[in-house]
Amino acid sequence: MEHASSDTRFRERLDELDPSHLRPLCKTLFAQLQRAKGLEGFAYLDGHDLISIDGTGYFSSQTIHCAQCAEKHHRNGTTTYYHQMLGAVLVHPDCAEVFPLVPEPILKPDGARKNDWESNAAKRLLTDLRREHPHLKLIVVEDALASNGPHIRHLQALDLPFILGAKPSDHAFLFDWVAASAHTAEASFDEEKGFRHRFRDLNGVPLNHANFDLEMNFLEYREHAPDGSITHFSWVTDLLVEDSNLMTLMRGARARWKIENETFNTLETKAITSSTTSVTANSISAPCSCT
């Protein structure tokens, strides 16, 4: 090949394809990365790689649309047509590099609410991921939308350990249980730079009333900065929480943001039309002629 096709030409050819036709290509590229030891030293926790999963939009218009477009109807009578996808990226808290895997298109039948369409797309993504990489040791890190009974049971069925965000507003039962337990542990670590890390944790907590038999391990974290500001996070996980791994779990969970900063933002702000990653991230959608 002497000349790479333009972005427009790529779209003309790829937009009509079923996304499944591109999966073998991406799997081959990932296998070459593994054989070349491109992932050497990237494992984070007990030989597991962290995989961050999140949704993003990559097309929006009030005039251009196709049969596969999701629709947002506004009060003024206008309609916004858009496409979204669920990305999956290998991340590491100490590495600037990320390694995108095959994204999953969020289809029009997946539902009208964000909780619905991300959940349905995640089922397909995780099932395909485990089938294509059965021996890859992974820990899934996701936001609080994922910390619900059906999604957690699906992760367990696929033998995928996880660290999922949990918000007090969405998991009141969980936080009340932790606050009332006599076994809840607390720990605090100070850094020379003036940062204080405070943890609260409890293993074996019921997720909620509806999933009382689904026991989670709970981890809460507050970062007190020298300027007085406080950053707060909390998660549920199936990994045992101990004093020895508090910082490790926290840093692994916070690495989830790399799918936003090093992946989605990079694709949105930089035109890398010769990159396979860019092609897959922008083109793997339902067959579409919007772009």
Distance of alpha carbon 171 from alpha carbon 124, whole angstroms? 26
For each of the domains in the chain, give its residue range(s) and CATH number, in order of start.
7-283 (3.90.350.10)
Q: 225, 232, 259: which is closest to 97 by C-alpha? A: 259
* Tokens, residue 135: 């021996």
C-alpha–C-alpha distance, residues 270 and 258, integer Å = 16
Per-residue pLDDT of the chain (291 residues; tens, 9 = 90+): 788 888 888 878 877 788 788 889 889 999 999 999 989 989 999 999 999 999 888 889 999 988 878 888 999 999 999 888 899 999 999 998 899 998 898 887 776 666 567 888 999 999 999 999 999 999 999 999 999 999 999 999 999 999 999 999 999 999 999 999 999 999 999 988 899 999 999 999 999 999 999 999 999 999 999 999 999 999 999 999 999 999 999 999 999 999 887 778 776 665 443 333 333 334 334 455 565
